[in-house]
């Protein structure tokens, strides 16, 4: 019943038992039988056909034939690193009971995977895209995953639009040509019809979407989460990672040249820095909002297309993460790591953000596809450093050998069966939020302002940064064949900033449409149900 002592090296000690050290060993088959010759297959005569009984050839070939697993449906290209996280002090005790965030003497092992989103596993690192910043904390209370991005807002507000978003931005379905010609049309077509995307579009056209290095990139939890303290009090929280080296970007010309000359630019930079002992460091901080202040903002805290401006809620620093070891094996660690925003530990919980709620379903679902099994949690990189006991003892590639007859609960016949943990023994108890309402397929009216924060972002840019955004829009929208789509996008820009719309329009051969309104995109038909609700007609 005792929890393990987690220190900086606990995950590494666990991984050590899975590592293979073949120096000074004879080569063997998977059955451990020593091999004397692996350059030729067994033949009927030196110029004759291969014979079926060659178990060594069959095993070697079969293994190779099955070496790949489906790449991630998004964030396929990534780079991983090991390290640790340590809080500066116990100041978070007031807000959360999550021990790894409140005990300054603890160093919690972490594995981080940075990624691009759209490209396939072999795509270039320096493309204009969002970057993933996913962290697995191997805490003494189980795994906690902070599955974030380097941009603090998202394209859409509801998870039901995710498949549409990704389809629009991935290579075309007929010829799989990425971003060649029509792909620009598909994404911008979608974007121009989804006003909620506008804040994110400003970030994506900015230099944030072409980071100079994974070591020089912010990270954000994006959604509003909850902190729960020892007394059970809940508060809203937004997570931020800040690189100690500061956030830096490439310029577009560099990004394009690097995509040709060194498509592994970000991957190599991270690897080399760690090899040289120049360890990337990131500070974790949080914005905290009291529950009673939930409705005091002019945006909805549950809307993932909004930030909480730091002028309204300053960040509180928690501690520092240091990435100090490269993986031993890309496939075993970086490819097989499986993050999930629903991997929570006591003290951290989710909110009703409809994007986050949908993610809670999607990650395990896709990972079962990726690993062809629900047992991917047993893969070394995914194992918690805490022990795992339950009755989930079967399925493809099961590693653990559960003992006894009782693989059900409750049982009275024993046999290595678990007990239930009370809350004061570290059990995760979901925050008791009161929920009621009509069952309704609709968007809250409080999610309807799609331009104010886009304008806020634009106004916060320096003259050079504004120039980069306009040039990026010229590059991207200049490739869109449809004049209607280009004009619609300029229409949205006109609601962000007249100057922005005018300058973009000049570069892509359209006029700024007069009196553009978002309703003309047709998106709001979907909100018919919520209008009804408002009028009490449900």
| Catalytic site positions | 75, 149
For helices 463-477 and 252-261, the axis angle rounded to 10 degrees is 50
Residue 37 CA from chain centroid, whole number? 45
Closer residue to ligand HEM (CB): 57 or 162: 162
Q: Does 358 bind ligand HEM (CB under 6 A)?
A: yes
Q: Does 137 bind ligand HEM (CB under 6 A)?
A: no
Residue 379 CB, nearest distance to ligand HEM (Å)? 12
Among residues 229, 285, 366, 455, the one that binds ligand HEM under rule CB under 6 A: 366
Q: Does 73 bind ligand HEM (CB under 6 A)?
A: yes
Residue 362 CB, nearest distance to ligand HEM (Å)? 4
Instruction: Give which of 306, 304, 376 is closest to 343, Cα–Cα.
Output: 376
Instruction: Give which of 282, 300, 291 is closest to 227, Cα–Cα.
Output: 291
Q: Does 279 bind ligand HEM (CB under 6 A)?
A: no
Residue range at the interface with ligand HEM (CB under 6 A); choices 66-74, 267-275, 292-300, 415-423: 66-74
Q: Does 132 bind ligand HEM (CB under 6 A)?
A: yes
Binding footprint of ligand HEM, residue count (CB under 6 A)? 28
Q: Are 136 and 119 in contact (CB under 8 A)?
A: no
Interface mask toward ligand HEM for 309-348; x: CB under 6 A: ----------------------------xxx---------
For helices 483-496 and 198-205, the axis angle rounded to 10 degrees is 100
Closer residue to ligand HEM (CB): 56 or 113: 113
Residue range at the interface with ligand HEM (CB under 6 A); choices 23-31, 74-82, 465-473, 492-500: 74-82
For helices 182-192 and 162-169, the axis angle rounded to 10 degrees is 150
Tokens of 188: 């911008």
Q: Are 248 and 211 in contact (CB under 8 A)?
A: yes
Q: Are 144 and 345 in contact (CB under 8 A)?
A: yes
Q: Does 237 bind ligand HEM (CB under 6 A)?
A: no
Q: Does 479 bind ligand HEM (CB under 6 A)?
A: no
Q: Does 148 bind ligand HEM (CB under 6 A)?
A: yes
Q: Does 363 bind ligand HEM (CB under 6 A)?
A: yes
Q: Does 398 bind ligand HEM (CB under 6 A)?
A: no
Per CB under 6 A, which of residues 94..113 are in contact with ligand HEM? Answer: 113
Residue 86: strand pairing partners:
320
Residue 198 CB, nearest distance to ligand HEM (Å)? 16
Residue range at the interface with ligand HEM (CB under 6 A); choices 67-75, 383-391, 429-437, 464-472: 67-75
Under 8 Å CB-to-CB from 132, ≥6 apart: which residues?
75, 78, 113, 114, 115, 116, 117, 147, 148, 149, 150
Tokens of 392: 């989930």
CA–CA separation, 88 vs 316, rounded Å? 11
Residue with tokens 């995509």: 259
Is 359 annotated for ligand binding? yes
Among residues 3, 93, 370, 398, the one that binds ligand HEM under rule CB under 6 A: 370
Q: Does 154 bind ligand HEM (CB under 6 A)?
A: yes
Is 363 annotated for ligand binding? yes
Q: Does 147 bind ligand HEM (CB under 6 A)?
A: yes
Residue 320 CB, nearest distance to ligand HEM (Å)? 20
CA–CA separation, 499 vs 494, rounded Å? 8
Is 215 annotated for ligand binding? no
Q: Does 143 bind ligand HEM (CB under 6 A)?
A: no
Residue 117 CB, nearest distance to ligand HEM (Å)? 8
Residue range at the interface with ligand HEM (CB under 6 A); choices 82-90, 273-281, 362-370, 469-477: 362-370
Residue with tokens 């007929």: 174
Q: Are 279 and 324 in contact (CB under 8 A)?
A: yes
For ligand HEM, the nearest residue by Cβ is 132
Among residues 11, 72, 77, 450, the one that binds ligand HEM under rule CB under 6 A: 72
Question: How many of the other CB atoms lie within 10 Å of CB of 276?
Answer: 8
Q: Which pairs from 362-366 meet CB under 8 Å and 24+ separation?
A: 362/159, 362/162, 363/147, 363/338, 363/339, 364/340, 366/72, 366/73
CA–CA separation, 171 vs 76, rounded Å? 14
CA–CA separation, 513 vs 62, rounded Å? 60
Helices and strands (H, E) in the chain, number of each type: 13, 10
Is 451 annotated for ligand binding? no
Per CB under 6 A, which of residues 155..174 are in contact with ligand HEM? Answer: 159, 162
Q: Does 204 bind ligand HEM (CB under 6 A)?
A: no
In the complex, the residues that contact ligand HEM under the rule CB under 6 A are: 72-75, 78, 113, 115, 132, 134, 147-149, 154, 159, 162, 222, 304, 337-339, 355, 358-359, 362-363, 366-367, 370
Indicate the annotated binding residues for heme: 72, 113, 162, 359, 363, 370
């Amino acid at each position: 019943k005792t929890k393990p002592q987690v220190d900086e090296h606990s995950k590494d000690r666990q991984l050590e038992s899975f590592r293979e050290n073949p120096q000074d060993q004879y080569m063997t088959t998977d059955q451990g039988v020593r091999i004397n010759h692996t350059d030729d297959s067994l033949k009927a005569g030196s110029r004759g056909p291969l014979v079926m009984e060659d178990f060594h050839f069959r095993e070697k070939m079969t293994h190779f034939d099955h070496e790949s697993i489906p790449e991630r449906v998004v964030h396929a290209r990534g780079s991983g690193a090991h390290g640790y996280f340590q809080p500066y002090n116990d100041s978070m005790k007031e807000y959360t009971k999550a021990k790894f965030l409140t005990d300054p003497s603890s160093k919690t092992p972490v594995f981080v995977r940075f990624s691009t989103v759209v490209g396939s596993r072999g795509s270039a690192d320096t493309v204009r895209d969002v970057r993933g910043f996913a962290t697995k904390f191997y805490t003494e209370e189980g795994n906690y995953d902070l599955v974030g991005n380097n941009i603090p807002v998202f394209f859409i507000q509801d998870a039901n639009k995710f498949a549409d978003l990704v389809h629009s931005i991935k290579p075309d379905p007929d010829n799989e040509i990425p971003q060649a010609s029509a792909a620009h049309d598909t994404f911008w077509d979608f974007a121009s019809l989804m006003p909620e995307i506008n804040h994110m579009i400003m970030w994506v056209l900015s230099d944030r979407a072409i980071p100079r290095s994974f070591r020089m990139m912010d990270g954000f939890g994006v959604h509003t989460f909850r902190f729960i303290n020892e007394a059970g009090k809940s508060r809203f929280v937004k997570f931020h990672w800040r690189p100690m080296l500061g956030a830096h970007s490439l310029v577009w010309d560099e990004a394009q040249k690097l995509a040709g000359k060194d498509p592994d630019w970000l991957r190599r930079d991270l690897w080399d820095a760690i090899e040289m002992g120049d360890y990337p460091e990131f500070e974790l901080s949080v914005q905290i909002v009291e529950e009673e202040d939930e409705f005091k903002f002019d945006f909805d805290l549950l809307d993932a297309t909004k930030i909480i401006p730091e002028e309204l809620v300053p960040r509180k620093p928690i501690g520092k993460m240091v990435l100090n070891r490269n993986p031993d094996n890309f496939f075993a660690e970086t490819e097989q790591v499986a993050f999930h925003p629903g991997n929570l530990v006591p003290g951290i919980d989710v909110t009703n953000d409809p994007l986050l709620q949908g993610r809670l379903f999607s990650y395990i679902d896709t990972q079962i596809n990726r690993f062809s099994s629900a047992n991917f949690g047993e893969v070394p990189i995914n194992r918690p450093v805490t022990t795992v006991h339950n009755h989930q003892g079967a399925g493809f590639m099961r590693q653990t050998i559960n003992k006894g007859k009782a693989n059900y609960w409750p049982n009275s016949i024993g046999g290595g069966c678990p007990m239930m943990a009370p809350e004061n023994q570290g059990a995760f108890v979901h925050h008791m939020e009161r929920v009621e309402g009509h069952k309704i397929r609709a968007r809250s009216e409080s999610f309807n302002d799609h331009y104010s924060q886009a304008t806020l972002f634009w106004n916060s840019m320096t003259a050079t940064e504004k120039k980069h955004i306009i040039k990026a829009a010229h590059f991207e929208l200049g490739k869109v064949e449809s004049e209607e789509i280009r004009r619609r996008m300029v229409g949205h820009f006109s609601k962000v900033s007249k100057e922005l719309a005018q300058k973009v329009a000049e570069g892509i051969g359209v006029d700024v449409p007069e009196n553009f309104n978002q309703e003309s995109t047709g998106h709001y038909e979907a909100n018919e149900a919520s209008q009804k609700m408002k009028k009490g007609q449900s």
